[in-house]
Amino acid sequence: MSVLAAVLVLGALLLPNHMDLLTVGMFLRIPVEAIFAVALLLILPPKPRLAAAVAGGVVLGVLTILNLLDMGFYQFLDRPFDPVLDWILFADAKSFLNDSIGSAGAMGVVIGIIALVLALPTLITLSIVRLSGLFTRHGAVATRSTLVAGTVWVTCAALGAQIGGIPVPASNAAQHVDRSYRQIADGIKDKRVFAEEARVDAFAKTPTDQLLTGLRGKNVIFAFIESYGRSAIDDPAMAPQVEAVLERGTEQLDQAGFGSRSGYLTSPVSGAGSWLAHTTFMSGMWVKNQQRYRSVTSSKRLTLTDAFRRTGDWRTVGIMPGVTRSWPEGKFFGLDHIYDSRQMGYKGPKFSWSPVPDQFSLEAFQRLEHGKPGHQPIMAEIVLATSHNPWAPLPEMVDWDEIGDGTIYHEIKKAGKDPKEVWTDSAKIRNEYRRSIEYSLHSLITWVEKYGDDDTVLVFLGDHQPNATVTGPDAGREVPISIVARDPDVLKRIDGWNWDEGLRPGKNAPVWPMNDFRDKFFTAYGPTAGKP
């Protein structure tokens, strides 16, 4: 039992916080924390020794859980877990599990996680208490061994000794404590920094009659395609099919009289956190965490969408199929009316995470707003959510005139793939992700082809890259963005952006931070555009 206790404690001390670092060599190192802990336990009297062992076990157990959380966050969000701001994301994780493996399976996973969270600190604490007793019973041997281990650690550190490229001397736990402390301190500092940044707004005092003058009379649509990242058009495993959709779409729109320009934006998030990307794009602020989101959405910051409302010349609407409950932040974005998943008239089934297929969402926009005779100009924010993971089962394109109330999708879902089967193989996951992006693009392109007119201006973009299961490590955070219009003056106003023609941005297309778009858009479509 003592051997198992030692293995558990050493494993916890040497556990990395990234799955790519889970190698044998990582666990063949000497943790400095173990050396200091044994030395402390040897010199303490019995009662303080027991208290120190228990406290150390609890701390190490918590650090182990945080390391495991870091692994998951790096795998799916390309960043470590924030112990202050990220607790809200666990509700989304539970929703993802429901869609991937069903409610029963999700409940089983949740119970397993709770058991692990309770068991790890308990087992590690019991192990340290047991080892503490062993050290005191064999004090002389433990003292000599500690001195030898300390000497070896210092020598290896001085010489830079490595095993397979991994340093032999280790201080994982200490580094994690320091990292967590810095995260908390940085979070407190970031709140002040963000508040200072928010005070600077070049368009805050712009008269409403000077806003968006180059788009008066147009129906302007901002459409987000969930998880539409640069990997979809750069990754050799997906690029040929997605590029074909974009090239064919460019030709279809060209034949319908529409031109298009495309570039890239760098999202503040990856893998998830769509609302942070949407807010960054609309507000012109770099909204990288929940703290910033709460701050900006409770402010009076001018957003892209609210600018249209303030002019009084547009009706502003949101098509939000992913919203299933009240969304008070809608007021911040200046939307006159929000159609969520309960207000679109959809009678079909849910496809994986998305309550409403993208094609139906666009048809609902046409039926409820855009297709009404004599309507005033519309500004719409439309979120296309079908490409949200877990990407199975997927809807299929149907004839626009046959969509009806969505009951047609019941048979389509029955023929779809089981997410439990898809998520057993990374190649299958990547394939279904690609198919979901193709579906979203088809839906949007054919909607413009069928319902677009001389006054249609479409801006569509991805909100973030998919998770690392699809992209692999170090894929970056760039997402494609395109502007589509039939009126040549709309595209002429962005000539200075140097975006590529068509729906597919090239490898050397401009890349902007996502928060730069708002100001560039206001400038391009303001009264001074093109003037010296």
Structure confidence at residue 281 as a pLDDT band (50, 70, 90): very high
Measured CA distances, 207 to 203, 211, 213, 281, 530 (Å): 9, 7, 11, 22, 19
Q: Would you say the pTM of this structure is higher than 0.95?
A: no
Distance between CA atoms of 432 and 460, rounded to whole angstroms? 21
Report yes or no: 457 and 215 within 8 Å, Cβ to Cβ. yes
Structure confidence at residue 532 as a pLDDT band (50, 70, 90): very low
Distance between CA atoms of 156 and 143, rounded to whole angstroms? 20
Structure confidence at residue 242 as a pLDDT band (50, 70, 90): very high
Question: What are 1-45's pLDDT values in tens digits?
Answer: 778 888 888 888 888 887 777 888 888 888 888 888 888 888 888
Closest by alpha carbon to 66, among 23, 17, 107?
17
Q: Could you give the maximum distance between any two Cα atoms of the chain, in Å?
A: 92
Report yes or no: 125 and 53 within 8 Å, Cβ to Cβ. yes
| Single-letter residue type at 131 | L
Tell me: pLDDT of 119 over 70.
Answer: yes
Tell me: pLDDT of 49 over 50.
Answer: yes
Mean confidence (pLDDT) of the chain: 88
Q: What is the pLDDT of residue 100?
A: 56
Least trusted range by pLDDT, from 19-23, 50-54, 282-286: 19-23
Closest by alpha carbon to 309, among 379, 374, 383, 365?
379
Q: What is the pLDDT of residue 18?
A: 79
Tell me: pLDDT of 427 over 70.
Answer: yes
